[in-house]
Structure 1
C-alpha cells in the first residue's frame, strides 16, 4: 500500500529527508549539514552539487526498504537562493548564491535611484533588495565565465533550489513552483509566466528560466534510477509558505512566524494579491489548477544564525540549548540590547548596509545577559513587523510559531509578552516539512483538501499567554528603539 510521503527539505544550513505517514507522524529522518562558503564580506554561497548529493543520500536513507510504500514526494527549500546549471551536462556551473548574500546591493541601489522600485513592487509584491533572486541571476551571467558561456550557447538554466532538485530528480524537467517563482522579482503576482519586461530590467534571459507550475498536483516523476522505481512529485513549496500550510494557516488573517536561520512571518491573504504601504512583501502562498492563494510577509534575515554566531564565532555558548537556561539565570538583560543586523536589516527597514551592534555593555555584563539579549531580539524584530502588518490593516490576533528556535520556552513566552498576544506552538515544530507533506498528500489524492490534511496531520500544540507588565514592555521597547537608531 502506497501510504507514505517522502519530503525533501533543503534548508540553508542543512538538508534532510523525512518520511511521513498520513497522520502527520514522522517515521524516519536523515539530515546532513551543508557547507557555508563566505568568500568575501557579505557573500554567502553553497555548492549546488553538495545540495543534490546530500539530499539524495538522505532520501535514500529514509526510504530504505519502504521505497515501495512511498506514494509521493514533496519538496520544500530555502528560497531566493540561485543555482545555475547546464541543461546538457546536468552539472552546476558556479556556486549557488544564497538568499543571505548581499553582493548585489549596489545594483538595487541603482535601480531604486532610477525610480524602478514602485514598478517592481506593484508588479511582484517585492521591494528592491539583494535578497531576491533576479539580481543574483544577473550577477552570475555578468561575472561568471562558465555561466555566461552557457547563456551564449543557450544551455543555461537558472532556478531556485526546488527547481534544481526537481531537474535532477526527473532527469531533466525544467520547472519551478509558483511560490518560489514569486520570490525572484520576475513573476507578476497575478501572472502565470515570467515577465519579459522584468527580465529585461534585471538582465535575465527569459529562455534560461524554468516553467512556472502549481505548488501541488501532478508535477513530475522522480526517475527510477534514484529509488528503483518512479515516484510522483506532487508538492513543491518554498519553506516559509510550507510552514504556513504546516501551521494550518489556511484561512485569511491566520498568521505564523518561523524562527530558523532567519525569521519569517506570513499572514494568509486568501485569493487577493496583497499590497503593502509599509514595505512588507506580497507572495504566492499556494497554487492548484492555476488558482492562487496569497500571503503578506515580513522577512527578518537573522534569527537562529545569531545564536549560531554566539556559539561558533564568539564562543560564548557551547550549544544553542544553553540559551534558555542562561536567559532564566538573570532577572533581566542588564541593559544589553542586540540588534542582529549581521547581514543587514530586512522588513520593515530594508537596510542592506546596516551592521549589527551589541549596546549597553558594562563590567557587570556576563554571557547570560548577552544570551538573553539575543533571544529578546527575536521578540523585538517580531514586534517591529507586527506594527507594519497593523499599519497595512492586517493586525494579528495571535501568532503561531515554529522552527528550531521555537522549541525554546523562554523565547516563546517572551514573544507573547512583548506582543501582548497569545502565541501557539505546535507539538511538532518542524512545520516546514509537515506543510510539504500535507501539500504532497493533497497533490496525489491521499487527502482531498488542505483543510482535511490539516485535521488529520496537525496536533493541538501549546499556548503561551502574555503576562508582562506594561511598564516593563514600554522600557524594553524604548531601549530597543534607541539601539536601532544607532545601526
Structure 2
C-alpha cells in the first residue's frame, strides 16, 4: 500500500497543505489566503485563529482531494512563516492579541534601546543574529508591555508564547504539546545556537518570563500525534507530527542542499538566501545572520542567511495598492514588453531594509521617473528590484563563506518568472537552477517528517529525488549589468535618507 506524507505550509499570505508520495511528487494540495492586518503604518498583524482555521481547512481538503485512506499518511510535517509571534492562554488556547508578523517594525525603538544598552555583541555571539525588529523576542516584549493584564498573567504561568510552528502543534495536539524546533527557536533573538537552549540573560534583558517559551527540539522527531475530535480533522487522529522547520531552512532542506557551500534563494513575500555552512556556525562580517538550519539524526547543520523583507509583496503592492496590474502574471507580461526599466529603480523598503543594510527606518522609493515612464517600466523595475536585492545578499554571502557560490538553487512563487530568473542569472553571473518540484518549502517539511517516520532512509535517498526544470545562464553583457547594479546602490541610498523623527 502506497505511503504518503502530509505537509502544513503556513505562509505569510496563505495557509497551504500538500500531500507527497515517496517519490517526492505532489499528490494533492489546497490553499487558502487570509487577511493582512495593518493597524498603523509599518505594523503588520495576523489573526492566529484564522491562521489555524485556514491551515486546518487546507489540510482536510488536501487529504480529501487525494482520495486515499488517511491511514496511509505516515507522518505530518510543519513549516511556517518564521519570527511571527503568538501569545495564547494555556487553559483555553485563545490568543491574547493578534500575531505580530515578521515584517512588523513596531519594535524598532525597543531594538534601539537594546543597542544603546550594549547588547549587540552578546546577541550576535549567542544567537547569530543582529538586533532588529524582524526577530521574535521584541515582539513578545511588546505584547507583554502593551496589552493590558498580559504581563501579570504571563508571570503567573497562565500563557504560552511561540512562533507559528508552536501555535500549530499546540492546536494539532489539543494543547498537549508546547514545543518549537531549533530552526524556529534560533530566529527569536532569545536562543543560544551553540548550547541549543533559551538564554537566561537575553530573556532577562527583554523582561520575558522563560515559562512562556516552548521546549526547543530537533527538526526530525516525533513531537506528538494529531488529537482526536478536532473538527474537520477527525480522520487524521493519531498521525505522528514528526517534522518541523521554519520556511527558509525547510526550503534549503527541500532543495537537497545537504553539503556545505550549497545555497538556495526563495522568492516569496520576501527573499531569503541560505547557505549550508556545515556543523560550525559562521559569524558574518557582511551583514548576514547565522541560524540553525536543522538537526537530523543527532547531526546539527548551520545556515548563513540573508533576508529581504519585500519581494513578491512588491508585486502584490503593484496589484492591490497601485492598481497597475490585475494579476501577478501580468507583471511579467508588462515587464517583457520593454527592453529595460528605462532608468527607473524601485527600492521596496516598505518595512525597512533587511540584509545587508539592516535599516529599520528606510522607506520605499522610486527614482528615475521621467515623462516617458510607463507602467511597463515600473513593472520591469519591480522585478529588477527583487533580483537586485538577491544580488546584495549573494555578494555579502561570498564575502563571508569559506567558498563562493557556484550555483543558486531557486524556489518560491516568483521563481516561475522566466524574466526574473534570467535577470538574476545576469546580475549574479551564475547559473540559476529552478527545480521541477518548486514546492520545496513544503517538501522540506515533509522530508523531515518522512525521515523520522522511516519513509526515507536518509539524505542520500532524498537528494536523489531532486530534478532541475531549467538552469538559467548569464546572457546579458557583464558591463551593462554592473552599471545597473551601481545605479541600484545609489537608489538604495536615497531610500535610507529617512530618519526616525521624520516618520
Residues 88 and 96 of structure 2 are in contact (CA less than 8 Å); yes or no, is this contact kept in structure 1? yes
Which of the residues 386, 389, 392 maps onto 1:384?
392
Stretch of structure 1 that moved more, 429-438 or 73-82: 429-438
Matches within 5 A, 1:115-134: 115-134=118-137
* Aligned-partner Cα distance in 1 for 2:82–2:57: 21
Residues 45 and 101 of structure 1 are in contact (CA less than 8 Å); yes or no, is this contact kept in structure 2? yes
Look up the match of 1:96: 99
Residues 197 and 216 of structure 2 are in contact (CA less than 8 Å); yes or no, is this contact kept in structure 1? yes
* Aligned-partner Cα distance in 1 for 2:298–2:78: 19
SS at match of 2:222: strand
Look up the match of 1:227: 234
Look up the match of 2:37: 37
Evaluate the alpha carbon distance shift between residue 258 and residue 50 of structure 1 in structure 2; reply closer, same or farther with a 3 A threshold: same
Stretch of structure 1 that moved more, 389-398 or 33-42: 389-398
Stretch of structure 1 that moved more, 324-333 or 242-251: 324-333
Stretch of structure 1 that moved more, 130-139 or 391-400: 391-400
Matches within 5 A, 1:230-245: 230-245=238-253
Give 5+ residue unaligned stretches, structure 2: 496-503
Look up the match of 2:498: none
SS at match of 2:20: strand
Q: TM-score normalised to the size of structure 1?
A: 0.98
Give the superposition deviation at 1:294.
Answer: 0.5
Residues 180 and 237 of structure 1 are in contact (CA less than 8 Å); yes or no, is this contact kept in structure 2? yes
Look up the match of 1:216: 220
Q: Deviations over 1:17-48 (max 9, x none)?
A: 11111111111111110111000111100000
Look up the match of 1:467: 475
Q: TM-score normalised to the size of structure 2?
A: 0.95
- Number of residue pairs the alignment of both structures matches: 486
Which of the residues 449, 456, 463 maps onto 1:447?
456
Which of the residues 380, 394, 403 maps onto 2:412?
403
* Aligned-partner Cα distance in 1 for 2:123–2:34: 33
Give the superposition deviation at 1:146.
Answer: 4.8
Matches within 5 A, 1:260-409: 260-394=268-402, 395-409=404-418
Look up the match of 1:191: 195
* Aligned-partner Cα distance in 1 for 2:356–2:63: 42
* Aligned-partner Cα distance in 2 for 1:390–1:454: 24
* Aligned-partner Cα distance in 2 for 1:380–1:148: 42
* Aligned-partner Cα distance in 2 for 1:27–1:470: 42
Residues 48 and 96 of structure 1 are in contact (CA less than 8 Å); yes or no, is this contact kept in structure 2? yes
Residues 346 and 382 of structure 2 are in contact (CA less than 8 Å); yes or no, is this contact kept in structure 1? yes
Stretch of structure 1 that moved more, 334-343 or 61-70: 61-70
Could you list the runs of 4 or more consecutive aligned residues of structure 1 that deviate by over 6 angstroms after TM superposition? none
Q: CA RMSD in A?
A: 1.2
* Aligned-partner Cα distance in 2 for 1:389–1:376: 20
Give the superposition deviation at 1:145.
Answer: 1.8
Residues 273 and 394 of structure 2 are in contact (CA less than 8 Å); yes or no, is this contact kept in structure 1? no
Residues 256 and 462 of structure 2 are in contact (CA less than 8 Å); yes or no, is this contact kept in structure 1? no
Stretch of structure 1 that moved more, 7-16 or 144-153: 144-153
Residues 241 and 286 of structure 1 are in contact (CA less than 8 Å); yes or no, is this contact kept in structure 2? yes
Give the superposition deviation at 1:398.
Answer: 1.3
* Aligned-partner Cα distance in 1 for 2:390–2:355: 10
Look up the match of 1:26: 26
Which of the residues 195, 200, 214 maps onto 2:204?
200
Give 5+ residue unaligned stretches, structure 1: none
* Aligned-partner Cα distance in 2 for 1:324–1:397: 27
Give the superposition deviation at 1:443.
Answer: 1.3
* Aligned-partner Cα distance in 1 for 2:32–2:12: 11
Matching of residue 482 in structure 1 with residue 493 in structure 2: no
Q: Deviations over 1:83-103 (max 9, x none)?
A: 101111111111000000000
Give the superposition deviation at 1:289.
Answer: 4.6
* Aligned-partner Cα distance in 1 for 2:349–2:106: 16
* Aligned-partner Cα distance in 1 for 2:113–2:151: 22
Evaluate the alpha carbon distance shift between residue 418 and residue 87 of structure 1 in structure 2; reply closer, same or farther with a 3 A threshold: same
SS at match of 1:361: coil
Which of the residues 112, 115, 118 maps onto 1:112?
115
Residues 2 and 71 of structure 1 are in contact (CA less than 8 Å); yes or no, is this contact kept in structure 2? no
* Aligned-partner Cα distance in 1 for 2:394–2:62: 39
Give the superposition deviation at 1:461.
Answer: 2.4
Look up the match of 1:416: 425
Give the superposition deviation at 1:150.
Answer: 2.4
